[in-house]
Amino acid sequence: MKPITNSPFKNAMSSFIFLSRWLQAPLYLGLIVAQCVYVYHFMMELWHLILETTTIGETEIMLVVLGLIDVVMIANLLIMVIVGGYETFVSRLRLEGHPDEPEWLSHVNAGVLKVKLATALIGISSIHLLKSFINADRLDGKTLFWQVIIHMAFVLSALILAWIDKLTHRTPEGKR
């Protein structure tokens, strides 16, 4: 039986398909720009909080601080997507031994990234829900109801993703 050899066309096609992963690089650069927008938004909100600290009440301060926390959590989500996605789908970052290398990056894969993103979304949703509960007197019950339902959908989705990730990475002995 004659061995199957790769033709120049197959080799070129394989190389082209593999190189197509670099089409994602501008997307990650765009997310970095979005991160800059969030930094600007955070600094503006913080500046307004400082300027208005003597004229606003405790509830308003709490709502602004929760908004700042929300921006930080979204920024953390962006970092996970930018760094984890680039490392997983485009190219290695070559950070081995770097003192600032994130601990989670050494064992990131598409499944782990999905679970981390889902838990980050739960955190962001929790902040929004807390802000809504603080403002409950200004919102109708239907809005609060749907926010709780959506939050629970995020929680359920994260649990299912974690369960699927655990099932797909189980060894024959049942250990990871």
- Residue 80: Cβ within 10 Å count: 19
Please tell me the predicted confidence (pLDDT) of residue 29: 95
- 86 close to 93: Cβ distance less than 8 angstroms: yes
Please tell me the predicted confidence (pLDDT) of residue 48: 95
**Rounded distance between C-alpha atoms, residue 108 and residue 115, angstroms:** 10
Please tell me the predicted confidence (pLDDT) of residue 1: 57
* Sequence letter at residue 88: T
Please tell me the predicted confidence (pLDDT) of residue 155: 93
Helix, strand, or coil (residue 49): helix
**Rounded distance between C-alpha atoms, residue 70 and residue 59, angstroms:** 16
- 49 close to 61: Cβ distance less than 8 angstroms: yes
Please tell me the predicted confidence (pLDDT) of residue 135: 83
CA 132 → CA 74, 76, 97, distances in Å?
18, 22, 43
Cα torsion 72, 78, 79, 81: sign: positive
Q: pLDDT of the chain along its 176 residues, tens only?
A: 555 667 888 888 899 998 898 999 999 999 999 999 999 999 999 999 999 999 998 888 988 999 999 899 889 889 888 988 888 888 888 777 778 777 766 667 777 778 888 888 898 899 889 888 888 888 888 989 999 999 999 999 989 988 888 888 765 555 54
- pTM equals 0.72
Domain boundaries, the chain: 22-104, 109-176
> What are the counts of helices (DSSP H) followed by strands (DSSP E) for the chain?
6, 0
- 131 close to 66: Cβ distance less than 8 angstroms: yes
Please tell me the predicted confidence (pLDDT) of residue 39: 96
Token readout for 104 is 């989670």
User: Any idea what DSSP says for residue 4?
Assistant: P
**Rounded distance between C-alpha atoms, residue 111 and residue 158, angstroms:** 11
